[in-house]
């Protein structure tokens, strides 16, 4: 059935420090909307897509960040979590369609798979679980309070709600540093692993910018930032001044947090797929640095040959960094 239902990737979250993105939100008149602030869980993106035909659920398809999960794919041994909630999300989907006078449709419940062996570095419960944070009907997100109410009604856990705000400015002032609401019983709150990853800020009524980007913001604590000073020495390579300076900045984006984020979208990884993981991480860095440095694209900074050399050099540094990390993983 997954071949018949087109996979729709969940919207990317923009960092709260990107002033350009925040300005675009205000330009669209969304400053005075009501916003909801939730805890950002440190896990792996996971969703249930429920296909309803003639008021009956015909399939419930699990998915990770990058696509549907194949039947022979482990993806953090997600199956027990899937079995735990498959009937609940089916019931939720039927109720939502009924409320909208629909007998056919596709309902997707997006959330986070967390705990157990996912990513690590957090004091979550040892048993993996799911926490929902968004619902779409035929690809369109529904009101956030409606989504949370629906999940509450069908006993589907949600990400913790931290609060609400009457304006974007107020929401952006939310404190991102606090003890996670999903703390393992008996864990020492003074331990750094008890600290939440951060918060997610979004309007109660979903909005999109003219560019197609959804108004969705993340505000992380320093421990989880995917950018920062590191000890990677700049390689000796001949580039023009603009690309040379950008390469030096790009090296700051190579860190373990980013590696973990890339891996969380794929699931089972090992040294055999270092080419795939290094490629994904390199592209992730390029996307972020273009946004952070407010660059139209890399091609605007130099000739095709120089841009190619920039990408190859960055990719080489990523490979060198992640090789020992992949060798440590035992799937």
Summarised one tens digit per residue, pLDDT across range 116-161 is: 989 888 999 999 999 999 999 999 999 999 999 999 999 999 999 9
pLDDT of 314 higher than 90 = yes
The CATH number of whichever domain residue 115 belongs to comes to 3.30.470.30
3-state helix, strand, coil in the chain (%, to 5): 35, 20, 40
Q: How far apart are CA 37 and CA 27, in angstroms?
A: 21
Domain membership flag for residue 236: no
Q: pLDDT value at position 330?
A: 57
Claim to verify: residue 142 and residue 177 sit in the same structural domain: no
Q: Which residue has the tokens 């997954």?
A: 2
Q: Is 238 exposed, middle or buried (0-12, 13-18, 19+ CB in 10 A)?
A: exposed
Domain membership flag for residue 254: yes
Summarised one tens digit per residue, pLDDT across range 317-331 is: 999 999 999 998 754
Boundary (domain end) residue, out of 112, 143, 158? 158
Summarised one tens digit per residue, pLDDT across range 4-61 is: 788 998 999 999 999 999 999 999 999 999 999 999 999 999 999 999 999 999 999 9
Distance of CA 113 to the CA centre of its chain: 11
Claim to verify: residue 190 and residue 212 sit in the same structural domain: yes
Q: How far apart are CA 34 and CA 202, in angstroms?
A: 9
* Model confidence band, residue 230 (pLDDT cutoffs 50, 70, 90): low
Of 317, 307, 325, the C-alpha closest to 254 is 317
Domain membership flag for residue 1: no
Claim to verify: residue 126 and residue 79 sit in the same structural domain: yes
pTM of the model: 0.90
Whole domain around residue 76: which residue ranges? 44-158
Q: pLDDT value at position 2?
A: 43
Pairing of strands 14-15, 217-220: parallel
Q: Which residue has the tokens 């679980």?
A: 129
Q: pLDDT value at position 235?
A: 86
pLDDT of 282 higher than 60 = yes
Boundary (domain end) residue, out of 158, 192, 214? 158
What residues contact residue 302 under an 8 Å CB cut-off, 6+ apart? Answer: 239, 240, 242, 243, 310
Q: What is the mean pLDDT of the chain?
A: 94
Q: pLDDT value at position 267?
A: 84
Domain membership flag for residue 48: yes
Q: pLDDT value at position 3?
A: 45
Per cent of the chain over pLDDT 90 is: 87
Q: What is the mean pLDDT of residues 67-79?
A: 92
At 46, is the secondary structure helix, strand, or coil? Answer: strand
Between 3-7, 106-110, 167-171, the lowest mean confidence (pLDDT) is in 3-7
Q: In what order do the strands lie in the sheet with 56-64?
A: 67-68, 56-64, 44-53, 105-114, 129-137, 140-141
Total domains, the chain: 3
Q: pLDDT value at position 67?
A: 94
Q: pLDDT value at position 284?
A: 96
Domain membership flag for residue 232: no
Please check whether residue 143 is in contact with residue 96, taking contact to mean a CB–CB distance below 8 angstroms.
Answer: no
Q: How far apart are CA 31 and CA 166, in angstroms?
A: 9
Claim to verify: residue 75 and residue 139 sit in the same structural domain: yes
At 13, is the secondary structure helix, strand, or coil? Answer: coil
Claim to verify: residue 64 and residue 168 sit in the same structural domain: no
* Residue 51: strand pairing partners: 59, 106
Q: pLDDT value at position 1?
A: 41
Claim to verify: residue 270 and residue 167 sit in the same structural domain: no
Claim to verify: residue 153 and residue 164 sit in the same structural domain: no
Q: pLDDT value at position 229?
A: 63
Per cent of the chain over pLDDT 70 is: 98
At 54, is the secondary structure helix, strand, or coil? Answer: coil
């Amino acid at each position: 059935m997954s071949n018949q239902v087109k996979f729709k990737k969940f919207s990317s979250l923009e960092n709260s420090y990107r002033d350009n993105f925040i300005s675009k939100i205000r330009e669209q008149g969304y400053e005075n909307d009501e916003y909801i602030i939730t805890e950002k869980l440190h896990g792996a993106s996971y969703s249930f897509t429920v296909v309803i035909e003639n008021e009956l659920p015909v399939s419930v398809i699990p998915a990770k960040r990058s696509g549907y999960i194949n039947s022979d794919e482990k993806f953090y041994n997600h199956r027990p979590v899937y079995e735990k909630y498959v009937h609940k999300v089916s019931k939720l989907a039927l109720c939502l369609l009924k409320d909208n006078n629909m007998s056919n449709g596709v309902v997707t419940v997006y959330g986070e798979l967390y705990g157990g062996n996912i990513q690590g570095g957090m004091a979550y419960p040892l048993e993996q679980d799911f926490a929902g944070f968004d619902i779409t009907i035929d690809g369109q997100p529904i009101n956030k309070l409606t989504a949370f109410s629906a999940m509450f009604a069908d006993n589907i856990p949600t990400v913790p709600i931290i609060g609400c705000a009457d304006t974007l400015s107020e929401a952006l002032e939310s404190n991102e540093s606090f003890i996670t609401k999903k703390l393992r019983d008996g864990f020492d709150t003074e331990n750094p692993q008890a600290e939440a990853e951060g918060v997610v800020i979004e309007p109660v009524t979903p909005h999109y910018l003219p560019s197609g980007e959804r108004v969705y913001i993340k505000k992380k604590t320093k421990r989880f930032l995917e950018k920062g000073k590191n000890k990677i020495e700049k390689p000796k390579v001949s580039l023009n001044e603009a690309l040379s300076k950008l390469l030096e900045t790009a090296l700051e984006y190579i860190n373990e947090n980013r590696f973990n984020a890339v891996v969380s979208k794929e699931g089972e990884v090992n040294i055999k797929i270092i080419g795939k993981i290094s490629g994904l991480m390199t592209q992730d860095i390029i996307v972020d640095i273009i946004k952070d440095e407010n660059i139209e694209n890399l091609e605007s900074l130099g000739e095709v040959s120089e841009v190619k050399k920039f990408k190859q050099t960055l990719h080489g540094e990523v490979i060198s960094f992640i090789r020992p990390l992949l060798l440590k993983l035992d799937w």
